[in-house]
Amino acid sequence: MNASRLAGVRLCLRAGGSAAFAAAALLATQQEARANVYAAHLSASATNWNFSNGPLSISYRLNEPATSVTVQIYRASDPNTVIKTLVGTTAYGLNTIQWDGTDDNGIQVPAAGDYKFRVIAEDSVGHATWTNITPLVEGNEIGDAQFYAPQGIAVNRDPSSPYFGYVYISSGESNLASTNPGASAVGDGLFILHNDLSFRGGSAATAAAAANAFLATSSSSNLSPWKININQDNPDEIVMTDFLDNFEDVYIFNGDGTEVRRILNRETSGPTTGENYNHSNAISAALTGVGENRKLWVIDEDKDIGAARVTGGFDLIRFDIGTTLENYMLQGVEVKNGGATTPGTPFVTNFYTGRDLQFGRLTGTSRVYIACRRANNANGNIAVVCYTLDENGIVNGAVWVTENPAVSNAIGVPWMYSSTLAIDEAHNRGAVGRDLDAGARVVIFDTNDGSVLTSFTTSSNGSSFRGLDFDAAGNLYTSNQSDEHVRVWSPPDGPNSFTTDYYGTLSLNCPVPPPTILEQPGNIGKCAGQSATFTVVADGHGFDLTYTWRRGTTVLASGPSNTYTIDPVGPGDAGTYTVTITGCGSTESAPFTLSVSPSCLPDYTGDGLVNSADFNVWLPCATRDKVPATPECLNSSPPKDFDGDGDIDLDDFAKLQRCMAGNVPPNPNCVD
């Protein structure tokens, strides 16, 4: 299509899309069992696009360079049929390609209906070990990934969310920049980075959640705020805790950081070490469920719910907050007492130094994982435990448990000082970050049984190793307050690929009407062995037209021709036909028919003879040369317009006359 004919075509983006497609998109992404390169932050250049101003820009970000990238455009109603394939660019970071609105055959796509696109990123090599893929700028790890006091970290893994790929970081420092090269001072609160670890919006100011202004955090301590987590059933909710005494609030942010609510409020509901207030110091928190089923889970450092207080507390408490997202005042439910034991197999002993709390982040999961930082010689204390929960949020029992040994030296002991935890049940992997570890060691374990798969060091300084989380592709993000870095590690999975579907929809809007049919195809009657041609005449209002011919629901042909010919016709060709004309929009014709006679012999009376009786049937349809006959006469079977020229004249009479034989059966080939 030329540029003048593209004038006025508009393409609109709509966020969201159907729940069914969201589920399908999530499934499509999760089926990539092993991957590390992936695209996120898919977008198009405008919500209303006019192709006369040029092609539409499609953008995406890669977390690391890819070997190849393919962009597929398809109808939202038919995600399995790709109408346009584009070769994408493969660089780390932001990539942009152009779509001119045509399909793979160079034909303008129909304006009717919604469209989507997906980005398939592939790495044909991959990695053989857990590999640091933190981006480098002039030899230094990227400044955007460096904070003076990075605490918690969480990654949106849900491709049906508009915030898929966002990396959320809770920063506990209000004034200082990291001492690493290229770092920016960011302040207290929640910060949002892209999947390539660049600041959302390009600067620390735009990466900062707008709602940070409403936080009540300490400006003198780099422990305030503390950890963050994402609602496993609604990834657009981020929960943040504050570890510092006298700042023991719990907050819930929305996905873009523009709103925050204080769900547990120290000014109205605590803290206290008694049972009168609903919370004390929630050292770690998690959210599950939506609406009336929303639950807040915390490991509370000081709160007493049971009659007997255990020094150190660290009970697992559940708040059934439902639709209350601010100033929840009711008492929580003690799910697990931090100092109690759980008999059975395995035998679970106390986790009173519980430091991190995670769910599997698969929708509807019934497992909760707890990591415990234990820094003394006591034997029989949990390092990591995996519990199952019933539908009411009550612990059924421990699936597995790992215990800290009776040693204080962490060297060579995988589980010692387990202070931060990440769970990726989609890939059957979990990770524990070890505090007070000179190498900031990460232990990778199997979420099915807790067995250690491998471990690796992430820094030369790990005394304050604060946060871990996985992304949708299985990469592991680490936040380390000691060396002031956020890093990302790619798994040892070799060649891999990942498919990301755009969460919204694209719609073409036309400033002109859909094609107008000026002349409908007519009904045709033919004899077996003859040729039949249907013709439609339409006005595309300046747009090239595509004609799709169907018999019933079966597509027979599609292309630029306004005619469709069947040569020769047979009995199986008889039926009802339609043609859809597509330009800027689509119009379907009225139904038209093809009737097929077994023979052209003009035996209209059906007595096996051609004589004066048949002539008397033919005669009322006769016209002069070039005078159109009536549709009824033209479509009769057997035919009366023997030469198919639209009139019934002397030429047709001559063929009829050759067949007339009185009471003698005629020559079967008399019309030929």
- 24: Cβ contacts below 8 Å, ≥ 6 apart: 79
pLDDT tens for 660-672 read: 988 888 888 787 7
Using one digit for the tens of pLDDT, what is the confidence trace for 111-128? Answer: 666 889 999 999 999 999
Q: Tokens 């697992």, residue?
A: 316
- The domain that holds 541 is classified in CATH as 2.60.40.10
Question: 538 and 652 share a domain?
Answer: no
Q: Which of 297, 327, 301, 329 is nearest to 315 (CA)?
A: 301
pLDDT at 29 over 60: no
Mean pLDDT of 88-117: 86
Q: What is the pLDDT of residue 554?
A: 93
Query: Would you state the pLDDT for residue 350?
Result: 58
Residue 668 lies in a domain: no
* Per-residue H/E/C for 491-549: CCCCCEEEEEECCCEEEEECCCCCCEEEECCCCEEEECCCCEEEECEEECCCCCCEEEE
CA distance 615 to 128: 89
Can you give the pLDDT at residue 207? 93
Of residues 250, 261, 246, the one with CA closest to residue 298: 250
Note whether 144 and 193 are within 8 A (CB): yes
Q: Which residues of 34-61 are buried (b: 16+ CB within 10 A; e: fewer)?
A: bbbbbbbbbbbbeeebbbeeeebebebb
Helix (H) or strand (E) holding 48: strand 48-50
pTM higher than 0.85, yes or no? no
- Residue indicated by tokens 């859809």: 580
Residue 53 region, left (φ>0) first, then alpha (ψ -120 to 50), else beta? alpha
Instruction: Decide: 39 and 60 in contact? Cβ < 8 Å.
Output: yes
Q: Which of 451, 483, 509 finishes a domain? A: 509
State the SS3 of 502-513: CCCEEEEECCCC
Higher pLDDT, 598 or 39: 39
Range of the domain at 630: 601-659
Q: What is the average per-residue pLDDT within 10-24? A: 36
SS3 of 143, please? helix
The pLDDT assigned to 52 comes to 58
| pLDDT score for 136 | 78
- Dihedral Cα 583, 587, 588, 589, nearest 10 deg: -100
- 449 plus 319 within the same structural domain: yes
**3-class DSSP state of 426:** helix
pLDDT of the residue at 30: 36
Same domain? 24 vs 110: yes
Are residues 88 and 136 both part of a single domain?
A: no
Section 368-391 average pLDDT: 71
Is residue 430, in this structure, part of any structural domain at all? yes
Mean predicted lDDT score pLDDT of the chain: 82
Confidence band of 307 (pLDDT split at 50, 70, 90) = very low
- Domain of 12, CATH number, reads 2.60.40.4070
Q: Is the dihedral of CA 45, 46, 47, 50 positive or negative?
A: negative
* Residue 607 lies inside a defined structural domain of this protein: yes
Given a cut of 90, is residue 303 above it in pLDDT? no
**Whether residue 545 is found in the same domain as residue 632:** no
Radius of gyration, CA atoms only, the chain? 36
135-184 pLDDT, tens digit per residue, is: 877 666 777 888 888 899 999 999 999 999 999 999 988 777 888 877 77
Whether 671 is covered by a domain: the verdict is: no
**Could you tell me if 119 and 199 lie in one domain?**
no
Cα torsion at 631, 632, 635, 638 (round to 10°)? -150
Does a structural domain hold residue 426?
Answer: yes
Residues 368 and 243 placed together within one structural domain of the fold = yes
241 and 276 together in one domain? yes
CA distance 350 to 207: 40
pLDDT of res. 276: 56
Domain contains 670: no
Does 206 share its domain with 248?
yes
For residue 312, pLDDT over 60 is answered with: no
The answer to whether residue 36 scores a pLDDT higher than 70 is yes
Structure-token match 């998690």, residue found: 286
Query: For the chain, how many structural domains are there in total?
Result: 4
Q: 32-41, 52-61, 160-169, 489-498: which range is least confident on average? A: 32-41
Domain membership flag for residue 672? no
Supply φ then ψ for residue 286, to 5 degrees. -150, 155
CATH code at position 652:
1.10.1330
What confidence score (pLDDT) does residue 91 get?
Answer: 95
Least confident of 103-107, 224-228, 321-325, 613-617: 103-107
> Confidence class of residue 266 from pLDDT cuts 50, 70 and 90?
confident
Neighbours of 79 (CB within 10 A): 16
350 within 8 A of 381, measured Cβ to Cβ: yes
Instruction: Average the pLDDT over 203-232 and give the result.
Output: 87
Q: Which of 54-58, 150-154, 373-377 has the lowest mean pLDDT?
A: 373-377
Weakest mean pLDDT among 432-441, 449-458, 567-576, 588-597:
432-441
Helix (H) or strand (E) run with residue 266 in it: helix 266-269
Return the pLDDT at 565: 96
Segment among 25-34, 124-133, 442-451 with least mean pLDDT: 25-34
Q: Which of 458, 492, 526 represents a domain boundary (last residue)?
A: 492
At 47, is the pLDDT very low, low, confident or very high (cuts 50, 70, 90)?
low
In the structure encoding, which two tokens stand for residue 559, read together?
């292309």
In 3-state terms, what secondary structure has residue 182? coil
State the pLDDT at residue 24. 35
75 and 105, same domain (yes or no): yes
Q: Quick check: helix, strand or coil at residue 29?
A: helix
Q: Mind listing the pLDDT tens digit for each residue in 604-653?
A: 888 889 999 999 999 999 987 778 888 888 878 788 888 777 889 998 89
Q: Which of 10-24, 147-161, 265-279, 633-647 has the lowest mean pLDDT?
A: 10-24
Residue 666: inside a domain, yes or no? no
Per-residue pLDDT band for 544 (boundaries 50, 70, 90) equals confident
Quick one: average pLDDT of 418-429?
89
CA distance 521 to 533: 9
pLDDT at 349 over 70: no
**291-to-234, 323, 366 alpha-carbon distances in Å:** 10, 5, 18
* Model pLDDT, residue 310: 42
CB-side neighbour CA atoms (13 Å) of 138: 3
The whole-number average pLDDT for the span 354-371 is 75
Q: Is 19 helix (H, G, I), strand (E, B) or coil?
A: helix
When mean pLDDT is compared across 429-433, 457-461, 470-474, the lowest value belongs to 457-461
Provide the CA 519 distance to its chain's centre, in angstroms: 44
Phi, psi angle pair for 632, to nearest 5°? -60, -40
Same-domain check for residues 381 and 290: yes
pLDDT score, position 336: 77
Distance from C-alpha of 415 to C-alpha of 407, rounded to nearest angstrom: 11
Q: Residue 500 pLDDT > 90, yes or no?
A: yes
Using the 3D structure, point to which of 596, 612, 635 is the last residue of a domain: 596
pLDDT recorded at residue 413:
60
Please enumerate in sequence order all residues whose Cβ is within 8 A of that of 665, keeping only pairs 6 or more positions apart, or say none. 608, 609
pLDDT confidence of residue 169: 94
The pLDDT assigned to 90 comes to: 97
Tell me the C-alpha distance between 282 and 189, whole Å: 17
The answer on 190 and 113 residing in a single domain is no
Span 519-525, average pLDDT: 90
Residue 502: pLDDT over 60 = yes
Eight-class DSSP state of 112: S
Q: What is the CATH number of the domain that holds 442?
A: 2.120.10.30
Single-letter code of the amino acid located at 332: G
